[in-house]
Amino acid sequence: MVNPMDIIQIENYYITYADGAESLRKINLRIKTNAINVLFGPAGGGKSTLLRAINRLNDLTDVKEVKGRILFKGKDILDPKLDVTELRRKIGIVFSRPMPLPMTVSQNVSYGLEVAGERDRRKLDEAVEKALRLAFLWDEVYDRLNDPANAISGGQQQRLCMARVLALEPEVIMLDEPTSALDPVSTARIEDLLQDLKAKYTIILVPHNVQQSSRMADHASFFLQSELIETGEGKKLFVAPKDKRTQDYVEGRFG
């Protein structure tokens, strides 16, 4: 059964890498539409692996075995008939370190549209402006669109990476510790941005600490050593976790 509220369904999912590194065991999880879905837990728990499984970035990695399925709007993402580039446009990802491509600010934003086949310069320019405005970056860079993207500040670069994803008009935006390399002011800006964006998009966020997890989560899932320990409504899970391990982690007994 496809629940329209759950844009992504992960069913009995296992993944093992060829080098035996970080993997996932028996993950069952539903990603709620138009909400901030937080995946948290100590490093090496499998959160990044799950993000990379969802938009099939794992195709680039040496994966040994996959079991179970991931459904995006009811469709198996491993279906050979599915256009994987289209899937990645629909499910964008922002990485922990700002990673602008080696081109200008504007080209970074239009890149995804260009590889999708958009040639019309005017349309591209409009899309660039729209995406930069959505990421609250336009006012800061409108006169530097043709500068190399690494010439703007780290916080601006990370919002550029957001704009780059937004330009593709995705349905899901995944963020893997997007603020871990940023100062508190830039972090606050990204967090505000995510709160604004969830009305239109589904957000999957891997925060870089428990405080950010509890601040941001509409829905939270705790990962520990390749397993999903507990999942539930955001605020509740932090106030009254059911599992002892979740409680210990939330209260800072380990991590």
Partner 1 sequence: MSAFDDQSQLRGAHLQERIGNTALWTLSLITVLPILGIVIFIIYKGIPGISWEFLTSMPSNGMREGGILPAIIGTFLLTLGCFLFAVPLGIAAGIYMADYAADTPMTRAIRIAIISLAGVPSVVYGLFGLGLFVIFFQMGVSILAAAMTLAIMTLPVVISTTEESLRTVPNAFRVVSISLGATRWQTIRRIIMKEGMPGILTGVILGLERAAVETAPILFTGAAFYLPTLPTSPLDPTMALPYHIYVISTQVPGMPLTIQYATVLVMLTFVLIMNIVATIIRSRARAKRQW
Which residues of the chain form contacts with partner 1 (CB under 8 A)?
55, 57, 59-60, 85-86, 88-89, 92-93, 95, 99-103, 111-112, 115-116, 148-150, 164-165, 168
Q: Read off φ and ψ for residue 199, nearest 5 degrees.
A: -65, -35
**Which residues on neighbouring strands pair with residue 174, listed in sequence order?**
93, 204
Residue that is written with structure tokens 């549209």 in the block: 113
In the complex, what is the shortest distance from the CB of residue 113 to partner 1, in angstroms, rounded to a whole number?
9
Other CB atoms within 10 Å distance of the CB of residue 23: 17
Residue pair 56/16 in contact by the 8 Å Cβ criterion:
no
In the complex, what is the shortest distance from the CB of residue 200 to partner 1, in angstroms, rounded to a whole number?
19
Which is nearer to partner 1, 206 or 224 (by Cβ)?
Answer: 206
In the complex, what is the shortest distance from the CB of residue 236 to partner 1, in angstroms, rounded to a whole number?
32
Which is nearer to partner 1, 135 or 224 (by Cβ)?
Answer: 135
| DSSP letters spanning 188-206 | HHHHHHHHHHTTTSEEEEE
Which is nearer to partner 1, 103 or 210 (by Cβ)?
Answer: 103
* Cα 224 to Cα 36: distance, rounded to the nearest angstrom: 20
Which is nearer to partner 1, 175 or 237 (by Cβ)?
Answer: 175
In the complex, what is the shortest distance from the CB of residue 26 to partner 1, in angstroms, rounded to a whole number?
26
In the complex, what is the shortest distance from the CB of residue 137 to partner 1, in angstroms, rounded to a whole number?
17
Which is nearer to partner 1, 10 or 166 (by Cβ)?
Answer: 166
| DSSP letters spanning 92-149 | EEE-SS----SSBHHHHHHHHHHHTT---HHHHHHHHHHHHHHTT-HHHHTT-TTSBG
In the complex, what is the shortest distance from the CB of residue 247 to partner 1, in angstroms, rounded to a whole number?
35
Which is nearer to partner 1, 41 or 100 (by Cβ)?
Answer: 100
* Cα 22 to Cα 206: distance, rounded to the nearest angstrom: 16
